[in-house]
Structure 1
Amino acid sequence: MDAEFTDATTVPPGFGHNHVHCMLDITRAEMAKPNYSFEKRQRELAKKKKQDEKDAKKRAAKDAAKTGSEPAAQG
């Protein structure tokens, strides 16, 4: 029982079938859980960044059209 067991299907000497299930349950409990709130926040930030870029592009096009028509109106 001193040896490390990397394969959960390998039953160590002296362990019954039930002990393997306990080993699997411990492994599942130790696994990292996904952080859904972090992922959601990252999606929201990406969406906001994309929208800001879109708005900046529209603003630039509007300013270009505005400055292009002003000299003709004043002229």
Structure 2
Amino acid sequence: SIVVTHDVEETFSFADYVYFVANGVVAAEGTPDDLRKSELPFVHQFVHGEKDGPVPFHYAASDYQRSLLEAIE
């Protein structure tokens, strides 16, 4: 079976072998245990859900300072 998902923990709970595809190529592959222990920065960031790493993460949000100032005006 082929499963396409971003839910790492769910996938690792039933998969015997996993392929990570990024930018159209296989970026990593292995058993869930292999991938949990991976030292590849991309894999480590994705598997552990870290915001800092080789893949930039930005959650769109309003300007915090502006929101505070508008609240007191």
For this structure pair, what is the TM-score category when the shorter chain's length is used for normalisation? Answer: 0.3 to 0.5
Q: Greater strand share, 1 or 2?
A: 2
Q: TM-score, structure 2 length as denominator? A: 0.34
Return the index of the structure with the highest Cα Rg: 1
Q: Greater helix share, 1 or 2?
A: 1
